[in-house]
Amino acid sequence: MVVGIALGPIAAKFLDSERWGPAVEGQTSTITLGLARVVICVQLIIAGFQLPERYARQHWLDLLLCLGPIMTAMWLCTAGCLLAAIPNLPFLSALVIASCFTPTDPVLSQAIAKGPFSDKYVARHLREIISAEAGANDGFGFPFLMLATYLLRHLKGAEHFEIPAHHERSVEPLLLVARSAEEVGRLGGGAGVAIKNWVVETWLYVIAMSVVIGALIGFIGGRVLKFALRRYNF
């Protein structure tokens, strides 16, 4: 981190993403988002390859507990911490922000799951469940985000909130997320419509269809790989 600051635009200006490519003002956020996606995708693939064969099938109960009640408790506890830390923050906005914090980062989890320190002091079964949970929880955090978003859009009377001036700088990144949530178009209909759309659009359309497409692509890719290995005798 110190090296990055020294080489970045604050100090040496050796690395300045605002001057890359078309040099459009404010492009750093887009570049950061793209790099973050690549890093997370690579780490998710690595986590899958490093786990033993059929790990998810053999330890489905452990993963179910981590990705179900434990993640839900983390989501609600994080929202509670945000409500305590940010004055006048509405509960639904806190849930939106908390859903972004709840999933364990697959890159940071490797500090516990991999390396000489982990090999010596962390039991193998614990390292494996940490890697598996970190690899799966990004997808499982998505329903939490969408549930809070649907409630914001369909519940009536979602209040606007104001932050005292002396607090704004310290919570500015969180406020961007919260204000974006508050500015979502209001559709009305109440909690029943929100839950119905959450189930149909998030679980059935986005998640279930993604699982089917992913399984199909994975099956076809496996067949193609086996054919290539047989054909060229690798």
pLDDT at 115: 81
Mean pLDDT, range 201-226, rounded to an integer: 90
* pTM metric for this prediction: 0.73
Give the helix ranges, DSSP H, for the chain: 2-7, 27-50, 55-58, 60-65, 71-85, 91-101, 110-113, 116-121, 124-154, 165-168, 172-182, 190-197, 209-232
Question: Has residue 165 got a pLDDT over 60?
Answer: no
pLDDT at 98: 93
Question: Has residue 135 got a pLDDT over 90?
Answer: no
pLDDT at 170: 47
Rounded to the nearest integer, the mean pLDDT of the chain is: 83
Question: Has residue 79 got a pLDDT over 90?
Answer: yes
Between residues 47 and 228, the one the model is more confident about: 228
Question: Has residue 180 got a pLDDT over 70?
Answer: no
pLDDT at 181: 47
Q: How far is CA 162 from CA 67, 87, 152, 170, 183, in A?
A: 34, 8, 17, 14, 14
Question: Has residue 147 got a pLDDT over 90?
Answer: yes
pLDDT at 85: 93
Please report where in the chains the tokens 């010596």 appear, as a residue. 120
Mean pLDDT, range 43-70, rounded to an integer: 87
Cα separation, 111 vs 1, in Å, equals: 16
Phi-psi region of 53 (alpha: psi -120 to 50; beta: other; left: phi over 0): beta
Cα separation, 116 vs 112, in Å, equals: 10
Between residues 59 and 107, the one the model is more confident about: 59
